[in-house]
């Protein structure tokens, strides 16, 4: 893969200056067009240590309009990052629509380094390939343009450069603290890198290997590749969200004629007041201790609450939090997204709230909105919600691999029970804010929602993050069921 | 201060239930009105460990509409927080307009704990008072409603409660890991707390000490205080930004008749090409090493670039970054704020980019927009920009106290030189995006800007963060001056 970048290409100064002018003008125009088309761009600068990535960055900042460009380096890991699934840090730096993020190091860095220094085995290394391809597909599916550069230098050039640098008192990258360590394992580094590059060289996100021996050639080539990528993306503006169309998944009939998983929930289950009172106190006490235990073990918990309107999500959440120390949990109520959130992939606004190690985050509604309300109301296209299952599973897999206990509750009630509660809400003054026209409209789509919920459970109930379908007609029974599940799962996952 | 909360107030269950209904309805209405009026609310829950702050939080979540409420606890410090000035963590959790943040622990916690455990002396402790009062004034000036609760329990009640808890197997807060440590120093804790409370009990942000012996009384009182605070704030919607009006500062005449600091900049200074070439290389090499040194010493650097249109900010920044490893710096170009940013105090969007320890952040334009363009264009009211000097100085003081090296450059050019550059920009295709109608309009306000810049320097050039006025007519001279200043300051501040 790298042989093609050991040819020894050079460019004269005169040629460079002439070409630079043209290139810069065209790049600026293309950048402006991308901004207008609201296309986000991720540029990844990677490659051999000492190839001049910093100089390339500087050149790009000169050629492009730096307003709307952000650069990020992933030099070392902060605790805030270690305490969350690894991709959290990449989600943080994703460009908003129309903006450009230039990444210095990326999701490629750690797998490569860990493999070179034998911190991970081959299997783990290869698993990372899938994660990377999945992530890049998710981004490009959402309209992001990814331009990936790999700057290559033959060993002999690098060696010469180091010698020259020593004379020049190490102005260049060979002066960095990592350089020596890296240079010793040069061949291994190349071999490992090549494997990742091949595995992640996809049609939607190809690699560009650039020969870096000559600075002018390197920069000019970078600019030309960028311009070509800009132009090709601009030529396909309309295909934004359909870059890879996957076939729609099989779904039950929206008329509700088929049996759904919800039919298996026995809504007649109930508890007596006495059972409830003693049960809830016992469970809350247990949970209280478990939460502190989790805190001391730096163990994360994420609980998702979904359910029909008026199914009692809020009340159930309060019964859980009543059993928790106020310092150990946060409730995130998912409301309308802000414009910063709208300007990103839909999962972005959930990633940003992922808690640090030791805490509990409760989502009152969640990322499942994508395959529930957004599907029914057609806010998401079919392509978007069908691929969302996979995106969600991958997201949750990352949480669970990081050691997060993930709980997902769907509180089920019957249509009759919902009607009764709606009417009650209308009567009680302090509950009136909870019932709107929209709730009545949603009610009419009961059958459509049933089908959609069935699909959701079918596609996203995984062994690592199963759905708990809660029998919600009796609120007290539901609360006990939820608290018991919560506590049992923590029992399993805590040391 | 706490005697008034040792009276032994209680409330019967019947009375509570009756009052709760009324209170909840009124609170919901007031919350709705606050949302419509776009008023942000900060609720601080603090006080004696074991007084039931968690229960209060749960009650508030029941009474209020939890959409639009976020709770935050400051239980332990993350590295991400330690690596930045302390108030960074509080800025992160500030509510957007119309939203509510409930803080469990706050800017009060650490000074109190540190003083009780003798980690800070008296003087340092008292300095914290000023910081707190300043911060709360900044918030209320910006329209934030702050409601501060202190929950008090007499020692004997607490002791009884612990005994009961032991029987109940520690369900309550006495089961937390901190409780014992805290209880041992109960009296000291009260004495220290009282001092902070008195010092921060201001008209714009008063304290509410609530007796917490009886849970029902405690919660009802909390609700009533909150409702009263909501109502009083709603009664003064119009005064939003003028809560405390400070007298306008003395300023030079906008007609430019007076001499400004800019007149003292000798614009005739220049360098030869030869001096430039050798100088820039030498300085960049030095800077390169210093940046790595700073990284290894976990030392932060923040550089602010301001200047006339076409004064050469971008080119100067690129000459600095050319001397830096791409992994060690970030350039933040200040563009139009997002709606999340608009929904906060104007300093919020600068706080969010404060780098972790070891890195360099370069702001291309900055928080000084408030006292420059926003003042001239009247985007900020007189009250707003006059108080901005103080807010900026306090912000920068926090950076510097944290050990950040803060550099501020104003690049000065003459009107004639600007005209020459504008015309040049219009001619060169790849520079046309840099010149707009607005630039020509700004040019007509030269004299007004001169006066405003003079004020800015007068009020914000501090010993810890002085302004560097750069002679910019000769771009090369300017770049050398900037790089030299940069490098000299790092020399001073690095070990």
pLDDT over threshold 60, residue A171: no
Three-state secondary structure string covering B178-226: CHHHHHHCHHHHHHHHHHHHHHCCCCCCCEEEEECCCHHHHHHHHHHHH
pLDDT tens, B246-295?
444 455 555 545 677 888 899 999 999 999 999 999 999 999 999 999 99
HSE (side-chain half, CA atoms, 13 Å) at A265: 25
A350 at the B interface (CB within 8 A)? Answer: no
Class of domain B3-238: alpha beta
pLDDT over threshold 50, residue A33: yes
Q: Do domains B3-238 and B262-493 have the same CATH topology?
A: yes
- Choose among A72, A169, A296: nearest Cβ to B285: A169
pLDDT over threshold 80, residue A51: yes
- Report helix angle A122-141 to A109-116, nearest 10: 170
> For the whole model, what pTM was predicted?
0.81
A71 contact residues in B (CB cutoff 8 A): 326, 330-331
Q: Is A307 left (phi over 0), alpha (psi -120 to 50) or beta?
A: left
Contacts of A239 (CB under 8 A, 6+ apart): none
- Choose among B67, B105, B429: nearest Cβ to A335: B67
Class of domain B262-493: alpha beta
Q: Is A6 helix (H, G, I), strand (E, B) or coil?
A: coil
Q: Is B43 helix (H, G, I), strand (E, B) or coil?
A: strand
Instruction: Report the distance separating Cα B48 and Cα B153, nearest Å.
Output: 7
**Record: contact A171-B284, CB cut-off 8 A:** yes
A328 contact residues in B (CB cutoff 8 A): 73, 75
Q: Which residue has the tokens 């608290």?
A: A483
B25, B54, B294, B359: best mutation site toward chain A, by most A Cβ within 10 Å?
Answer: B54
- Report helix angle B382-401 to B446-460, nearest 10: 40
DSSP for B312-370, written as a single string? SHHHHHHHHHTTS-TTSEEEEE--SPPHHHHTS-TTHHHHTTPPPTT-EEEEES-GGGG
Find, in chain B, the residue whose alpha carbon is nearest to that of A282.
Answer: B171
Nearest to A104 by CA among A34, A56, A168: A56
Largest CA distance in chain B: 89
- Choose among B96, B296, B433: nearest Cβ to A28: B433
**Record: contact B285-A171, CB cut-off 8 A:** yes
Q: Which residue has the tokens 């709730």?
A: A439
Nearest to A84 by CA among A406, A328, A355: A355
Domain ranges (residues) in chain A: 3-238, 261-493
A284 at the B interface (CB within 8 A)? Answer: yes
Three-state secondary structure string covering A130-161: HHHHHHHHHHHHCCCEEEEEEEECCHHHHHHH
pLDDT band (50, 70, 90) for residue A246: very low
Backbone angles phi, psi at B331, to 5 degrees: -105, 125
Q: Which two tokens stand for residue A179?
A: 């350089």
Q: What is the pLDDT of residue B166?
A: 64
Instruction: Report the distance separating Cα A342 and Cα A338, nearest Å.
Output: 6
Averaged pLDDT for residues A161-182: 62
HSE (side-chain half, CA atoms, 13 Å) at A254: 7
Is the CB of residue B464 less than 8 Å from the CB of residue B400?
yes
- Choose among A55, A170, A326: nearest Cβ to B54: A326
**Record: contact A67-B333, CB cut-off 8 A:** yes
Q: What is the pLDDT of residue B228?
A: 94
The helix (run of H) or strand (run of E) holding residue B275 is helix B273-296
Instruction: Report the distance separating Cα A420 and Cα A433, nearest Å.
Output: 17
pLDDT band (50, 70, 90) for residue A185: confident
pLDDT tens, A9-18?
889 999 999 9
Distance from CA of A473 to the nearest CA of B (A): 21
> So what's the architecture of A261-493 in CATH?
3-Layer(aba) Sandwich (3.40)
Cα A352 versus chain centre, distance: 9
Instruction: Report the distance separating Cα B33 and Cα B235, nearest Å.
Output: 11
pLDDT band (50, 70, 90) for residue A193: very high
The mean of the pLDDT values for chain A is 87
Q: What is the pLDDT of residue B347?
A: 94
Q: What is the pLDDT of residue B258?
A: 63
Q: What is the pLDDT of residue B249?
A: 47
A356 contact residues in B (CB cutoff 8 A): 78
Q: What is the pLDDT of residue A243?
A: 45
Q: What is the pLDDT of residue A163?
A: 75
Distance from CA of B322 to the nearest CA of A (A): 6
Percent of chain A at pLDDT exceeding 90: 55
Kindly report which listed range (A80-84, A273-277, B411-415) carries the lowest average pLDDT score: A80-84
DSSP for A30-71, written as a single string? HHHHHHHTT--EEEEEEESTTS-HHHHHHHHHHHS--TTEEE
Which stretches of chain B score pLDDT less than 70?
76-80, 165-179, 238-258, 430
**Record: contact A25-B68, CB cut-off 8 A:** no
Q: What is the pLDDT of residue B146?
A: 96
Instruction: Report the distance separating Cα B53 and Cα A362, nearest Å.
Output: 19
pLDDT band (50, 70, 90) for residue A159: confident
- Choose among A61, A67, A335: nearest Cβ to B335: A67
């Amino acid at each position: 893969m790298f042989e093609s970048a050991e040819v020894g290409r050079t460019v004269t100064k005169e040629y460079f200056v002439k070409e630079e002018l043209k290139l810069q003008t065209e790049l600026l125009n293309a950048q402006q067009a991308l901004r207008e088309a609201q296309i986000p761009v991720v540029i990844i600068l990677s490659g051999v240590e000492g190839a001049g990535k910093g100089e390339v960055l500087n050149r790009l900042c000169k050629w492009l309009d730096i307003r709307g460009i952000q650069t990020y380096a992933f030099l070392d890991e902060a605790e805030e990052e270690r305490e969350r699934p690894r991709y959290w840090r990449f989600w943080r730096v994703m460009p908003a629509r129309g903006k450009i993020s230039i990444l210095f190091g990326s999701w490629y860095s750690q797998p490569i380094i860990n493999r070179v220094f034998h911190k991970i085995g081959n299997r783990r290394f290869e698993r990372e390939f899938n994660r990377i391809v999945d992530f890049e597909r998710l981004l490009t599916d959402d309209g992001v343009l990814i331009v990936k550069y790999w700057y290559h230098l033959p060993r002999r050039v690098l060696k010469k450069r180091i010698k020259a640098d020593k004379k020049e008192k190490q102005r260049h990258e060979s002066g960095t603290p990592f350089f020596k360590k890296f240079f010793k394992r040069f061949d291994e580094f190349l071999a490992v890198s090549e494997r990742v590059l091949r595995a992640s060289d996809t049609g939607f996100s190809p690699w560009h290997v650039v020969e870096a021996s000559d600075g002018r050639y390197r920069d000019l080539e970078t600019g030309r590749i960028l311009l070509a990528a800009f132009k090709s993306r601009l030529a396909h503006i309309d295909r934004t969200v359909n870059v890879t169309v996957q076939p729609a998944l099989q779904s039950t009939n929206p008329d509700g004629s088929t049996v759904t998983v919800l039919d298996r929930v026995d809504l007649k289950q109930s508890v007596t007041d006495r059972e409830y009172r003693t049960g809830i106190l016992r469970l809350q006490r247990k949970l209280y201790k478990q939460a502190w235990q989790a805190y001391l073990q730096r163990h994360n918990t994420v609980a998702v609450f979904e359910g029909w309107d008026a199914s009692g999500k809020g009340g159930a959440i309060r019964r859980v939090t009543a059993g928790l120390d106020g310092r150990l949990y946060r409730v995130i109520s998912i409301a309308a997204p802000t414009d910063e959130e709208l300007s990103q992939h839909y999962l972005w606004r959930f990633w940003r709230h992922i808690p640090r190690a030791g805490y509990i985050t409760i989502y009152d509604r969640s990322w499942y909105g994508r395959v529930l309300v957004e599907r029914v109301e057609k806010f998401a296209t079919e392509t978007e919600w069908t691929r969302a299952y996979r995106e969600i599973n991958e997201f949750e897999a990352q949480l669970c691999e990081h050691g997060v206990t993930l709980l997902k509750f769907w509180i089920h009630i019957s249509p009759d029970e919902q009607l009764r509660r709606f009417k009650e809400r209308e009567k009680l003054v302090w509950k009136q804010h909870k019932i709107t026209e929209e709730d009545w409209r949603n009610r009419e789509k009961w059958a459509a929602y049933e089908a959609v919920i069935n699909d959701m459970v079918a596609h996203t109930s995984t062994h690592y993050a199963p759905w708990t379908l809660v029998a919600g007609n009796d609120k007290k029974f539901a609360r006990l069921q939820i608290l018991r599940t919560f506590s049992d799962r923590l029992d399993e996952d805590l040391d």
